[in-house]
Amino acid sequence: MQKRLAPQRRSARTTTVGPKLPLSFRRPDLAREWHPTKNGHLTLDACATNSTQPVWWQCQQNPHHVWRASLKSRYSKRTGCRRCTLAMRAWNNESFQARTLSRKSPELAATWHPTKNGTLTPKDVTFNSRQRVWWQCPSNPHHVWDTTVNNRQRSNCPFCAGRFHRAIGSRHRWQDPISLTHPHLVPEWHPTRNGRISPNQVTAGSKRLIWWQCALNPDHAWQTPVHRRTLTRSTCPLCRNERRRVLELTREKNPQPRKSRFLRPRPRPPANPLLPWETSHP
């Protein structure tokens, strides 16, 4: 038995290929910039869109701007007048340079950190940029913090203002050493029990256990993480225990009844109270 072949389905949508539209109709911008005389008898419609042969063009904005370029570069890459493009780039560059930080705010540009920003300079950012960069205090070179250029317009050195906790912040985990951020802790650094570790090698947000020595009593030594001393501002625990013991002994020797703020003293009556009808008249 012969197998029956399935009938081929005809497409319901029939496509008809019509005449291709001329290039001057599809790209009227190229037709307007086609040079009328320098191309001779060659017309835009006679050229293929992938032609690499250079032809002459005339700028629509300025007829004095004339240049040669292939139709492929103009059709696919959509390039335009070279002189106008360079002029626009120069204008954009001048407009950008007029709004740079070095020109708008030279006093803030002087506080730009010289090394931590890499190759970025105040000439590369605008005065209202939201890019986060590093700054250096002009009064104290050890004061270094990072913030956006826009925020720097309305803020000063946070270290000098006493806001170094927010300046370092949780974003950078207090990357500066405690010798710069907390110089009052350097005298309490134990001279022998920490080995070769110095305050310049430990950051303010470090969780390393460090030995400390009381500045009031050198016999008091204790061990605690660095961030506990920088964040909570803890002091010598042995001195705190001694003060607590002295206070407890003082209370035991001189016991005093606990006063309540809710109990108020009752007013005393006068010695010889006179009733209204017992008042004497002269």
Task: Round to whole Å and give the CA distance between 97 and 258.
Answer: 73
* pLDDT confidence of residue 50: 85
Low-confidence ranges of the chain (pLDDT < 50): 12, 14-18, 165-173
Structure tokens given for 79: 């390039």
Q: Are residues 197 and 183 in the same domain?
A: yes
Is 64 inside a domain boundary? Answer: yes
Is 85 inside a domain boundary? Answer: yes
Nearest Cα residue to 237 out of 256, 223, 225, 251: 223
- Domain membership of residue 46 as a residue range: 23-94
Domain C-terminal end among 172, 206, 233? 172
Q: Are residues 116 and 83 in the same domain?
A: no
Give the SS3 label for residue 193: coil
Is 221 inside a domain boundary? Answer: yes
Task: Round to whole Å and give the CA distance between 157 and 51.
Answer: 62
Q: Specify the number of domains making up the chain.
A: 3
Q: Are residues 200 and 229 in the same domain?
A: yes
Q: Are residues 28 and 82 in the same domain?
A: yes
Domain C-terminal end among 172, 199, 221? 172
Q: Are residues 166 and 182 in the same domain?
A: no
Q: Which residue has the tokens 């500045």?
A: 215
Domain C-terminal end among 40, 60, 94? 94
pLDDT in tens, 188-209: 999 999 988 888 888 887 888 9
Q: Are residues 150 and 198 in the same domain?
A: no
Q: What is the pTM of this model?
A: 0.37
pLDDT in tens, 226-260: 888 888 778 899 888 888 887 777 777 776 655 55
